[in-house]
Amino acid sequence: MPARAFVDCHSHVVPSGDDGAATVGEGVELCRTAAERGTRILFATPHVWPHLLLPERREAEVRRAYEAVAVRAPLELRLGFELTPSRALLRDDPRRYALGGTDAVLMEVPFTGPAEPLFALAQHAERHGLRPLIAHPERAEAVAEEPDLAWELAERGWLLQVNATSLLGRHGDRAEELAWRLLDDGRVALVGSDGHRPSRPPRIDEAYDVVAARVGEEAALPLFDGSALGLAPVRELSARL
């Protein structure tokens, strides 16, 4: 097992009715894969889509599934949610969706259409004392058409998270190029796996290797150790685990 202690802020290892893990058993296996590749803290972030919100019944089901996976997972599993902007979320308290033990809430730039709904949701989160964590901007149509949009998001102090798979070229040349531009310009706060299933597992070790080779380990570590979320950095985690 690698002598590493990564923190992965974005995965879909808890069955929730979305496109992530289909069963508790599959979720446990995904956690095992992550642990074998050096992840020590993994955030499960089920989708909250405009057509799949989080009413009381679904939330209870998600939390039961989370507990069932967490008790068998060979790493520390924490719960949060990934928000796709919608009007309904602007009427809700975003603190219920925050990544466990942090003041960050994960939300994505819509894959298609304008980015204005994201700005509204991020500002809503800020009014409740949360930090917006922007998932995979490099994969969004609005950012591809206007790359300066990603720089504007970062300038507002919002944390940008690029996908490990984007850095590795697995979402196409355009996403790979933009992810590296953001990273080289110092705009990226975290790298996450966005792992969904066995064919797309929650791994960030390969991305760490290529980022460290490009910018050096000292610059690479803060993108992978959770310090951007206020968690203990990777060196301290390694000493405890």
Tell me if 206 is assigned to some domain.
Answer: yes
pLDDT at residue number 232: 78
State the Cα–Cα distance between residues 154 and 99, nearest whole angstrom.
19
Question: At 223, which CATH number?
Answer: 3.20.20.140
Cα dihedral across residues 50, 100, 63, 192: positive or negative = positive
pLDDT of res. 233: 60
Ranges in the chain, pLDDT < 50: 1-2, 234-241
Q: Is 189 a member of any domain?
A: yes
Packed helices 56-70 and 24-36: angle between N→C axes, nearest 10 degrees: 50
- Is the residue at 139 inside a domain? yes
CB atoms within 10 A of CB 72: 14
pLDDT at 2: 42
Looking at the structure of the chain, the number of domains it has is 1
- Asked if 190 and 161 count as a contact pair (C-beta separation under 8 A), the reply is yes
pLDDT given for residue 239 in this prediction: 39
Residue type, 102: T
Residue 156 structure tokens: 């507002």
Domain holding 169, by residue range, is: 6-240
101 in a structural domain: yes
Q: What is the pLDDT of residue 3?
A: 55
- Helix ranges (H only) for the chain are 24-36, 56-70, 116-127, 141-145, 148-155, 164-167, 173-184, 205-215, 217-220, 234-240
Q: What is the pTM of this model?
A: 0.95
Please report whether residue 79 resides in a domain.
yes
3-state secondary structure of 48: strand
pLDDT tens readout for residues 152-205: 999 999 999 999 999 999 999 999 999 999 999 999 999 999 999 999 999 999
Is residue 182, in this structure, part of any structural domain at all? yes
Angstrom distance (rounded) from CA 77 to CA 201 = 15
Structural domain contains residue 171: yes
Q: How far is CA 107 from CA 40, 85, 190, 226, in A?
A: 23, 7, 14, 17
In a domain, 1, yes or no: no
